[in-house]
Structure formats: C-alpha cells, structure tokens
Amino acid sequence: MVIYTPSDPIMAESNSIHRHRPDQSPIIEHQHVSITSNVQSNVLKVVLIPDEPTLKRHLGLFSGVCFIIGIIIGSGIFISPKGVLQETQSVGLCLIVWTACGLISILGALCYAEIGTIIPRNGAEVAYLKEGIGSVHERTGDILAYLFVWTSVLVIKPASIAVGCLTFSQYFLSGILNNCGSSPELVKMLAIFAILILINVNSLSVSAANRLNIVFVICKVLIILTIIIVGLVRIGQGHTQSLQNSFAGTTKKPFGVVLAFYKGLYAFGGWHNLNTVTEELKNPKRNLWLSIVLALPCVIILYILTNISYFTAMNKVELLNSNAVAVTWGEVALGSAVRVLVIFISISALGAANISLFGAARYCMVGAQYRYLPEFFACVQTQRLTPLPGVVLVGVLAIAFCIPSNIYGLIDIFSFSTWIFFGLTFVATLCCKVTKKNVQRVINVPIPIVIIILLIAISLVIIPIVYNRSIRFLFAAIVMLFGLIFYYPFVYRKIELPFMKKMNSTLQAFFKLQQAQINIE
C-alpha cells in the first residue's frame, strides 16, 4: 500500500518552497503540507501533518561520501581513457585533461552545494529550476523544471541505468565465460535481470539500497587500488617507457581537446547526485558540501593514478586499439587473474546503476509533488517508506533502453541532455544570488566561477552537435521539447483525466484506511 507524502521538514529552512495550489485535488488538500505566506518577508513556512510517513534522514557524512564515490566510479574510468587519449594524442595532455575534468566537476558540485543549501529539497534540478529561475520569472522556471522532469524520467536516468547494467552484463559474462564470448541477447537478458533486482532492492528498503551502495563502493575502491598498486610496482620495475616524453605527438586541434573534456567528464558523471537526496541527508547544510569536498578530490587522485597505471602496461597505440582498457591492462599486468578484475569491474558498473535508480525515484517523487507527474508518483510505500512508484517507473523505462543495447549511443544521449540542465542549474544559481541575497549561505561560490562553469556547460552542449552531427542529439532534443505538448493541458490548465480522478480517489481511500490502522496501533 502506498500513501502520499509531503516533503521533509527541511523545506522550512528554504527561502522559497513550491507554491500551494488552491485547486489541488482532494487527496492533496487532505495530505499535502499546509503553507502560509508572510507578505512582508516573502518567506514560506511549512507545517507538516504529524505522524505522516516521510522519507527518513538516514544518510550521514560517510554515506554521503560513499554516495558520490559510488555513482562517479562506475564504468567511466574503464571506458573513457581511450576516448580522452584519442582526442589529446599524448599521455601528458591526457593526464592534464583528466585533472581539469576533476576540477570542473568540483566547481560544478560546489555550485550545486550552494543552491542545494538555499533550496534544500530532494529532486535537485527540479526544485532549483522551479524556485531559482522561477524567482526571476515564475512561468519560465515552471516550464524548465517540468522539462527537466520529463527529460530526466524518460531519457537521462533510464539511459544511465541501462548503460550501467549493460556494462555490468558485458563485463560479467566475459569474466565467467571462456573465450567463447557472449551473444547480444544474453547480454540484454542479464542486464534486464540486473535492473529487476535493483528495482526490488530499492522498493523494499532505503537502508538496504544504501548498504548495498556501500558494498559496491568498497568493491570499486578495491578495483582502483589494485590497478594503482600494481601500476606503482610496475613503475618501480622500470615500465615507464610510455610516460617518458609524455607530450610527444600532442594534438594541435583545440576542438579535439574540447571533445576530450566531454569524454573525460563522462567518467566524473554523478558529482551532482547527492543533491537529489538532500531531504534524506542528516544535517545537509554541513554534510552536503563536506561530502563533495571529501569525495571529489579522492576520485581525482584515484583517476589520475589509474591512468598512469594503464600506461605502465600499454603504450598509446595499444591503448587506442583496446576495446576494454582495464581488461587489456589486466591481461598484461595480472595474467590469468584478469577474470577476477573483470567481474569486479562489472560490479562497479552495477553499483553506479543502483545509485542512479535511487536518485531517479526522488526525481519522480518531487516532480509529482510539483504536479509535473501524476500524483501517484509522489507516494511512498507505507511500511517501508520507499518511493515505490518512481522506482518502478524508471526501472521499467531502463529495461526498454536495454533493448537496443547500444552503450555509446546511450552515453551520447544522456550526456547531451544532462549538460543542458547543468547549464540551466548554474543559471538558477546566479538567479538566487540576486533574488535571495539575504538567505544564509553555508558556501558562497564567487559569481565569476559560476559564469565560467556555465560557459563550459554551454560549450559541452554546442560543440558535440557541431562536430558530430548525430541523429542521437536530434532524438534527445525532440523528446525534450515533445514534453511541451503535455505541459499546457495537464500542468498549466490543470486538466485531470477521469482515470486520474479515480486513482486519486482510490489513493485517498487508502490513506484514510492506513491512517485508521496507524491510530488503532
């Protein structure tokens, strides 16, 4: 059984919470937070209905650090090194690009941390676009937040989960099967099975999903440390030929360097995801930015040392000819033990998919609270306090994305879409600096830095289109804009179809029954 849940009391700390809609349906009127507005201070206060189930604050600082590391270290560090080297053409510039990608991620994450403490809500970009850009122009913020929910639920998150599970499937099968290989159908079946497992875990228990993430993080760090330690040993043994004259052959095409950043930043993807669970983070004003400051520098160091280790076993030509960089490295450095490494890499990719599903369900929940999705998706499971409808929706869509099984095509689609909304979120951060000057800030990123990271986001959207005129980008743009067709009747005009009214009535009955059971107990 599921019931509607409002947002967490942390919303009271925000200077601007989503507006109360006077024409909400009965179930919302009965269960939603009551909001009163102080005209003089323009501050919204939130009063929660007592004893109503909400998502709990179960993520501490360690869990926050693991959350960030867990979603960043997925399949990217085992896929992207080839792409970065291909565009830079030299080991030295390749390592510089990796470092710069990490610094860009830190700047972007700090911008998210600033706006995340001003608008401390689950759903991150949904609330930031609605309340940030909306503080300058309400309708524009509303439309952009809606488009983010639409694109995130239909494209970004399902594609990300599908990539993680397909990568898991390919690596896992290559690790357990002999040299006979695996068919595409088998890869798809295992990926779909993995998604079903993740759906069940995230539906049954938030704590179990969090503990599973911690296990995944431990496995990932063990993989990376193994690669690093073996690489350092090989350096001590004199395998440094590829590291000498490291800038030889450096590309002279600035355009290629920009594309190298695009591919390197894919490996750092996920630096923003802790903001999606702000309302489940203990002491978010401290732990949000501190988790970022602790996690991202660790990832940068691990990534740079991992790339150096790759070059102790492969030269530039060998790395560029490799279809699986980590596997090729393992065959040289570990010999027969490479199969164990491959299986651990598959677990790393699965862990990233688990975190993506975890955060995606929160996007659905907050999107429904803003009435961008049917109210059903704002529900949580009564006994287990998990956002069950959102988990199931995104999981089913991820299964659909597994059917084409084109990993690199999926990466292009969700990277393109993601950086569009990153840029808009940086715009929202700038808006908040103007419209919310008096809000207490735990962290205050200088405006020039926000503008720089905004320009980087714009370039990462435009340049791939100019350089690689792929139909994938057109597909992503069409899906994104197609959502506007549904915005006018169902969000702006608030038209409610008969079956939706019936569902709301059913949910209201469920709510009353559950409340009666709780009162009896």
pLDDT tens figures, 468-490:
677 777 877 888 888 889 898 88
The answer to whether 251 touches 257, Cβ cutoff 8 Å, is: yes
Residue whose tokens read 């919310």 = 436
Q: Which residues pair with 44 in a beta bridge?
A: 37
Integer Cα distance of 380 and 387 in angstroms = 4
Contacts of 214 (CB under 8 A, 6+ apart): 63, 66, 70
Integer Cα distance of 204 and 181 in angstroms = 35
pLDDT in tens, 294-309: 999 999 999 999 999 9
Contacts of 156 (CB under 8 A, 6+ apart): 414, 417, 418, 421
Q: Please report the domains of the chain, with CATH numbers, ordered by start residue.
A: 61-495 (1.20.1740.10)
pLDDT in tens, 238-281: 988 888 888 888 888 877 788 788 788 888 888 888 887 777 78
Is the four-CA dihedral 249, 102, 258, 449 of positive or negative sign? Answer: negative
Q: What is the DSSP string of 332-399?
A: HHTGGGHHHHHHHHHHHHHHHHHHHHHHHHHHHHHHHHTTSS-GGGGEEETTT---HHHHHHHHHHHH
Residue 310 above 70 pLDDT? yes
Give the angle subtended at the CA of 123 by the CAs of 129 and 107, to the nearest 5°.
70
pLDDT in tens, 382-404: 677 778 888 999 999 999 988 87
Hey, is 330 helix, strand or coil? helix
pLDDT of residue 45: 34
Of 74, 57, 72, 54, the residue nearest 6 (C-alpha):
54
pTM here is 0.77
pLDDT of residue 3: 41
pLDDT of residue 192: 94
Per-residue pLDDT, averaged over 329-353, amounts to 85
Higher model confidence: residue 458 or residue 30? Answer: 458
| pLDDT class of 46 with cuts at 50, 70, 90 | very low
Hey, is 124 helix, strand or coil? coil
Higher model confidence: residue 310 or residue 179? Answer: 310
pLDDT of residue 221: 84
Kindly report the backbone phi and psi dihedral angles of residue 4, in degrees, each rounded to the nearest multiple of 5, phi listed first. Answer: -75, 140
Q: Could you give the count of Cα atoms lying within 13 Å of 101 in the half-sphere of its Cβ?
A: 33
pLDDT of residue 10: 34
Residue 426 above 60 pLDDT? yes
